[in-house]
């Protein structure tokens, strides 16, 4: 299982992040790029780079054959998938295993199990993790039985696709008369987008927070939880700001949940880094899904625990045991991350193009993970995340103050970024108090838009 050369099957900031972790372990790092990314700054940071195909992701970053060929050409014996693209693809994991390479992540069968949200929930319920109440198992085709199930769960409910992801494949149903249509449309989408017709029903929670637990497990039954993250500041189900710890939740309750997650990992033989996602409402946690990969927001946990999670993820993939025990995991102070996206103002519309000027902020408690530089190209083909600004400090107020200073120092020309949106949130009283729900940002933006149109008319 020991390996020397890691192929990074990804691009942008996460490719750079993984290259840095490889360096920290003295491993050779091989980067890949599509034709649109030939000038990518992460390529220079790597020991070697391979172009894997044309700009569309389906023909490059999602092309399993091209990636395996690149690994062979570069003499790689392990592959890090990063996040997005093929990171949670069971077929990819299996192809990597078959080729005799190590995938830096859980086993293919674990990725498949957790990719099926119905089976994942079953496994978690069995392992003692609290879940959102709902239909146990896939919905039957019989409409009358579905109506009974939904009535038992209690309206409003949410119809979700077992294979869903990225905020797609789900529909809120307010009453019995909407159920049949919601099931039919979601099933059609599930077949088309996820090639899996299975659906399930969950109680729709009206005002939850999104809280997640980071785990890290070795191949020897060792499983740690590394604290929680609050990712409730979202827009269109996409996270915008994340922080650790979650404001206002009793530590004992978090610790109990963390222990349950670690126990569930031991029960299912989980390996590597992973995240248990929960909704938190009225003082109760309810599991929604597991992400079997490194996440964008792992950084805030790194800042509060002092651990290099990507380095640890690679080490355990080599078969090495965890060096820490749970007692050694200490979360100190606070950390906040703002996702800097190439977007026009508040609109969320992508703003691809060439970066003419790039000045990243710095100073105590300010970390910037980014592949940007003057002259860097932001292609229109991929995700718009171009940088993560992470501030840390003794408390939340210090993190917010440092973030405001960092955003003021950030200078970007050539493309638009969403810095104004972050400033808008950081200056808002409700956010400042902490503990907002997943609907907070959209509601706040709606009120802002209404007030502005009101002022103009």
- Judged by the rule CB under 6 A, the positions of this chain that interact with ligand ADP are 132, 158, 164-167, 202-205, 208, 210, 237, 277, 279, 288-289, 438
Q: Is 317 helix (H, G, I), strand (E, B) or coil?
A: helix
Our answer to whether residue 192 is catalytic in this structure is: no
Antiparallel, parallel or unpaired: β 209-217 and 157-165: unpaired
DSSP 8-class letter at 68: H
For residues 332-367, one letter each, b for 16 or more C-beta atoms within 10 angstroms of the residue's C-beta and e for the rest, the string is ebbbbbbbbbbbeeeebebbbeebeebebbeeebbb
- List, edge to edge, every strand of the sheet that includes 366-370: 284-291, 272-281, 209-217, 223-235, 238-244, 334-341, 385-393, 366-370
CB of 257 to ligand ADP, least distance (A): 17
Between residues 36 and 438, which has the closer beta carbon with respect to ligand ADP? Answer: 438
User: In 62-139, which ranges are continuous DSSP H helix?
Assistant: 64-74, 90-98, 108-115, 117-126
Q: Is 33 helix (H, G, I), strand (E, B) or coil?
A: strand
**Smaller CB separation from ligand ADP, 236 or 327:** 236
Our CB check for ligand ADP shows the closer of 261 and 316 to be 261
Q: Which residue in 28, 209, 260, 293 is the catalytic one? A: 293
**Nearer Cβ to ligand ADP (3/204):** 204
Backbone angles phi, psi at 198, to 5 degrees: -70, 135
Minimum gap (Å) between residue 339 Cβ and ligand ADP: 15
Q: Which is nearer to ligand ADP, 168 or 219 (CB)?
A: 168
Residue 129, token pair as written in the block? 């993790």
- Cα–Cα distance, 350 to 100 (Å, whole number): 39
Cβ 377 to ligand ADP shortest distance, Å: 29
String of DSSP letters for 182-205: HHHHHHHHHHHHHS---EEEEEPP
Q: Could you tell me the CA-to-CA distances from 432 to 13, 49, 106, 244 in Å, in that order?
A: 28, 44, 37, 14
Q: Which is nearer to ligand ADP, 204 or 431 (CB)?
A: 204
Q: Tell me how far apart the alpha carbons of residues 113 and 120 are, in angstroms, rounded to a whole number.
A: 6
**Rounded to the nearest whole angstrom, what is the least distance from the CB of residue 157 to ligand ADP in the complex?**
8
- The CB-of-117 to ligand ADP minimum distance in angstroms stands at 7
CB of 180 to ligand ADP, least distance (A): 20
Could you list the active site residues? 293
């Amino acid at each position: 299982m020991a390996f020397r050369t890691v192929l990074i099957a990804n691009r942008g900031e996460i490719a750079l992040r993984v290259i840095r972790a490889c360096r920290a372990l003295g491993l050779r790092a091989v980067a890949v790029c599509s034709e649109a990314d030939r000038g990518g700054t992460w390529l220079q940071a790597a020991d070697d780079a391979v172009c894997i195909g044309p700009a569309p992701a389906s023909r490059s970053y999602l092309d399993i054959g091209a990636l395996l060929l690149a690994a062979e050409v570069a003499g790689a014996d392990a592959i890090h998938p990063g996040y997005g693209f093929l990171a949670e693809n069971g077929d990819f994991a299996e192809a990597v295993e078959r080729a005799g390479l190590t995938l830096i992540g859980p086993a293919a069968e674990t990725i498949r199990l957790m990719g099926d949200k119905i089976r994942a929930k079953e496994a978690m319920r069995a392992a003692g993790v609290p879940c959102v109440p709902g239909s146990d198992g896939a919905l039957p085709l019989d409409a009358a039985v579905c109506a009974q199930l939904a009535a038992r769960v209690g309206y409003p409910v949410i119809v979700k696709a077992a294979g869903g992801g990225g905020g797609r494949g789900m529909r809120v149903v307010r009453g019995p008369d909407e159920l049949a249509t919601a099931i039919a449309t979601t099933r059609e989408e599930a077949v088309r987008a996820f090639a899996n017709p299975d659906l399930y029903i969950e109680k729709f929670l009206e005002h939850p927070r999104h809280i997640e637990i980071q785990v890290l497990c070795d191949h020897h039954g060792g499983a740690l939880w590394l604290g929680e993250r609050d990712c409730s500041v979202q827009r269109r189900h996409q996270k915008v700001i994340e922080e650790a710890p979650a404001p206002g939740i009793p530590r004992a309750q978090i610790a109990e949940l963390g222990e349950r997650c670690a126990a569930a990992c031991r029960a299912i033989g989980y390996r590597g880094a992973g995240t248990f996602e929960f909704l938190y409402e009225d003082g109760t946690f309810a599991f929604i899904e597991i992400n079997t990969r490194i996440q964008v927001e792992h950084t805030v946990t790194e800042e509060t625990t002092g651990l290099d999670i990507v380095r640890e993820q690679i080490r355990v993939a080599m078969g090495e045991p965890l060096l820490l025990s749970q007692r050694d995991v200490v979360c100190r102070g606070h950390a906040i991350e703002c996702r800097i996206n190439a977007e026009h103002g508040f609109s969320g519309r992508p703003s691809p193009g060439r970066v003419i000027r790039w000045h990243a902020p710095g100073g105590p408690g300010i970390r910037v993970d980014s592949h940007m530089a003057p002259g860097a190209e932001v292609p229109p083909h991929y995700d718009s995340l171009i940088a993560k600004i992470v501030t840390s400090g003794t408390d939340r107020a210090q993190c917010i103050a440092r973030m405001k200073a960092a955003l003021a120092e950030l200078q970007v020309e050539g493309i638009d970024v969403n810095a104004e949106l972050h400033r808008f949130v950081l200056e808002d009283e409700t956010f400042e108090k902490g503990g907002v729900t997943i609907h907070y940002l959209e509601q706040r933006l709606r009120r802002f838009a209404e007030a502005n149109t009101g002022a103009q008319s």
